[in-house]
Amino acid sequence: MALDGIYLSLLRKEFDPLIDGRVDKIHQPSREELIMTIRTKEGAQKLMFSTGAGSARVHITTADIENPKTPPMFCMLMRKHLAGGRLTAIRQDGFERILFFDFEATNEMGDRVNLTLAAEIMGRRSNLILYREDGRIIDSIKRVGQEMSSVRMVLPGAQYTLPPREQRLNLMECTKEELLAKIAENPTAELSKAIMKTLEGISPVFAREAVFFAARGAEITAEQLSGDTADRLWFYFSKVRDSINDGTNVYTVLKTKEGNLKDFCFCDITQYGALMVTKSFESPSVLLDYFYAERDSLSRIKQKANDLFKLLINTSERTQRRVQNQREELKECKDREKYRIYGDLITSNLYALEKGMAYAEVQDFYDENCPTVKIPLDKRLTPTQNAQKYYKEYRKLDTAEKKLTVLIAEGEQEVKYLDSVFDSLTRAQTEGDIAELREELFQEGYVKRSKFKGKPPKALPPIRYRSSDGYEIRVGRNNKQNDRLTCKEAEKTDLWLHVKDITGSHVIVTCDGEMPPDRTIEEAAIIAACNSKGRNSSRVDVDYTFIRNVKKPNGSKPGMVIFTNNYTITVKPDTELEEKLRV
């Protein structure tokens, strides 16, 4: 799933219309991302730079990404040096995974200076480095000191040097003989791995696709490459070279049958057969925008709400441990009746017992067979005191059972509540969503006052959808909004939906007391499934009933309700349909 050098070269070609454009805006949505708006005569385009280990890339994006209220220091530095600058060139050395963006800018003295922004797309070593014409680094989005790398330091004031590079062949320039000779240097390696060691800037999925075509689906080693197989391999690479030169590449995304995104490439992928589903795109940037959109959104939310995730996980685990200990204590309370019976038997046989006895052998008149039982006694106590001791133990366990039963129920409800907040947090899409959840946790006493800064956030509206039959569907973003939507805003005649036995949002269908068509109920159920903890499941049960059958118990946690007279429908979560129906 790496962005290889060839794909990067195709992106560079796509960026050509940006040359001579001016830097209009610079934003940094997260610690490892930078968005630069380039304005040309044809309009403005947004360049996305990402240096995340699993999502390193650079491409044109149309995504509307929320930016932090206070820009990070690296963002401010980039604005200082590049704002208003002109993009003069975009360079790439062969198929090396580095793009150099050359700018002509103005410094604080008003002099024209040439600056270069190096976008190094190299997995976990990815970086974004701004340096001067003399090679001196101004700063980078990730600083690399001596303790992190003894080979290459990336620090302000240091000299910019290229990363270590292996000598490999360029697919666009090498001959068939050079290619086969280089592959033969690794005779025992799998052919796909030997190709990766031979050619510069190719990804594993592309190498496997080339072998799949050449060997007709067979897995072979480098030393088995000869004759017809070698001719087919060279033919495949020749076709790829022609498509790169002609600009006729097929930008392909691989998905599982369940819809999970797995990989992408600049050519058609057939090696997986029916095991994978492919989807083609018109440009390399559109593909990357599609592939990383949801993943990056979750990553940004996780960064911004990292403290809340830790709080919820730790609190939930601590509460579950407490409930488990209380359950163990409750088991010990089951024998409480034995102590009451011991007290009664001792009391009824006081005439036959004396102080100093180690045990009392008496008949158990609670058993119809009246067997003789042996009751342990404390030699230091009188028989009456021994009876009172057993009665006291009985009362202690009886009280403990009543209190533990309540505490366990409260603990289980708390775990469910924390799970629902955690689920809402994973589905949060904006800083406003996170702020509302932070406010909710503050009001419930989970977040200390010192952690809660500023005014309470303005309440966001529910997420709105429109069914295929024209019915309005509203979905709560969090527990507080679920309560507001279900208990205050919805009419008694509206339809209410919620996933069965798992956490999720309340869903309201405005229908004026009439049961909506089956298609609308199914679509609303799919929306409920997508806005729940079961969104990645293959099948989800969803309960639905009219609002008049939904009640909120006094003193219950936010989002907790009880309902009656409900029906249940089973649906498959469909995120594409959910997005399509969103207003």
Q: Name the token pair of 246.
A: 């002609």
Three-state SS string over 65-97 comes to CCCCCCCCHHHHHHHHHHCCCEEEEEECCCCCC
Q: Name the token pair of 582.
A: 């969103």
Spatial distance between the Cα atoms of 420 and 437, rounded to a whole number of angstroms: 11
| pLDDT value for 529 | 94
Taking alpha carbons only, the member of 231, 222, 282, 287 closest to residue 254 is 287
Contacts with 581 (C-beta within 8 Å, 6 or more apart), sequence order: 465, 466, 467, 468, 473, 523, 527
| pLDDT value for 367 | 85
Q: Provide the 8-state DSSP code for 159.
A: B
Tokens 């195709």: give the residue.
Answer: 10
Task: Supply φ then ψ for residue 270, to 5 degrees.
Answer: -120, -5
Contacts with 499 (C-beta within 8 Å, 6 or more apart), sequence order: 528, 529, 532, 533, 534, 540, 541, 542, 543
pLDDT tens column, 452-488: 455 666 778 899 999 999 999 999 999 999 999 999 9
| pLDDT value for 452 | 45
| pLDDT value for 457 | 62
Spatial distance between the Cα atoms of 503 and 511, rounded to a whole number of angstroms: 25
Residue 531 burial (C-beta neighbours within 10 Å; 0-12, 13-18, 19+):
buried
pLDDT tens column, 249-280: 999 999 887 777 889 999 999 999 888 999 99
Q: Which residues of the chain have pLDDT under 50?
A: 450-452
For residues 359 and 373, the answer to whether their CB atoms sit within 8 Å is no
Say whether 274 sits in a helix, a strand or coil.
helix
Spatial distance between the Cα atoms of 549 and 213, rounded to a whole number of angstroms: 61
Residue 217 burial (C-beta neighbours within 10 Å; 0-12, 13-18, 19+):
exposed
Q: Provide the 8-state DSSP code for 532.
A: B
> Taking the mean position of all CA atoms in its chain, how far away is CA 207?
30
Tokens 């904006």: give the residue.
Answer: 430
Task: Supply φ then ψ for residue 447, to 5 degrees.
Answer: -110, 130
Spatial distance between the Cα atoms of 208 and 278, rounded to a whole number of angstroms: 16
Buried b (16+ CB within 10 A) or exposed e, 37-69: ebeeeeeebbbbbbbbeebbbbbbbeeebbeee
Task: Supply φ then ψ for residue 474, to 5 degrees.
Answer: -120, 145
Spatial distance between the Cα atoms of 267 and 275, rounded to a whole number of angstroms: 18
| pLDDT value for 255 | 87
From residue 63, how far is each of 37, 51, 299 by CA, in Å?
A: 12, 17, 15
Residue 431 burial (C-beta neighbours within 10 Å; 0-12, 13-18, 19+):
middle
Spatial distance between the Cα atoms of 129 and 25, rounded to a whole number of angstroms: 18
For residues 323 and 415, the answer to whether their CB atoms sit within 8 Å is yes
Q: Name the token pair of 525.
A: 């159920």
| pLDDT value for 433 | 84
**Residue 46 backbone class (left: φ over 0; alpha: ψ -120 to 50; beta: rest):** beta
Q: Name the token pair of 48.
A: 């996305």
Taking alpha carbons only, the member of 232, 233, 237, 270 closest to residue 254 is 270
| pLDDT value for 451 | 46
| pLDDT value for 208 | 94
Longest dimension (CA), the chain: 112
> Hey, what amino acid is at 23?
V
**What's the sign of the alpha-carbon dihedral 300, 302, 305, 306?**
negative
The second-level CATH assignment, the architecture, of 5-140 is Roll (2.30)
**Full strand arrangement of the beta sheet holding 567-571:** 463-466, 472-475, 507-509, 495-499, 540-546, 567-571
For residues 540 and 569, the answer to whether their CB atoms sit within 8 Å is no
Using only C-alpha atoms, what is the Rg of the chain? 34
